[in-house]
Amino acid sequence: MFNKIRKFTAISSEEKKLFLEAYMMLGVMRAAILTVSFKRLTRSLEHHTQQPDLATLTQTEQERAIIIGKSIMRAATYTPWESACLVQSLTAQKMLQKRGISGVFYLGAAKDEESKEKMKAHAWSQCGETIITGGSGHEDFAVLSVFGWGKE
């Protein structure tokens, strides 16, 4: 417990604010996933059937996006609810769009020979050339849908 408090106090005030925003938005997005249809959650986004051209970001936007992604992943480890990849991707979309940073999030699927379901899914976010959330193992998934957002 004290170790967690020490880690939190060691980060900058900007990172603390982003962590708290991410924590709250993860809760909002988790509740939305459980209560609202996916179509309604993504209706304000551009749905792409193929890989879109990714917007070029400034150095400042790219750095900001990376910090936001780290805050989301950090906050996700402390939520008492499930904050899996889709929740993180939707949270990233909201937080980045709020700051005028464009990006996309992907939904992918892959065969899972070890499970009864035989399929597994994954979501990840990307801004420019950088994967912001869900990057671990994303290359194992075939992209099914791409949802993009521009500047607000």
Residue 118 has pLDDT above 70, yes or no: yes
Structure token digits, residue 48: 């792409």
Structure confidence at residue 1 (pLDDT) = 63
pLDDT (tens digit per residue) in 59-68? 999 999 999 9
Average pLDDT, the chain: 90
Percentage of the chain modeled with pLDDT above 90: 68
Q: Where are the domains of the chain?
A: 2-149
Cβ-proximal residues to 148 (8 Å cutoff; 6+ apart), any chain: 45, 46, 48, 52, 102, 103, 104
Taken in order 132, 134, 137, 140, the sign of the CA dihedral is: negative
Residues 140, 120: Cα–Cα separation, whole Å: 10
Contacts 24+ apart (CB under 8 A), 99-102: 99/64, 99/68, 100/61, 100/151, 100/152, 101/57, 101/61, 101/64, 101/65, 101/68, 101/127, 101/151, 102/55, 102/57, 102/127, 102/148, 102/149, 102/150, 102/151
In the structure, what pLDDT confidence band is assigned to residue 36 with cuts at 50, 70 and 90? very high
Mean per-residue pLDDT, 105-117: 83
In the structure, what pLDDT confidence band is assigned to residue 151 with cuts at 50, 70 and 90? low
Cβ-proximal residues to 22 (8 Å cutoff; 6+ apart), any chain: 68, 71, 72, 74, 75, 76, 91, 95
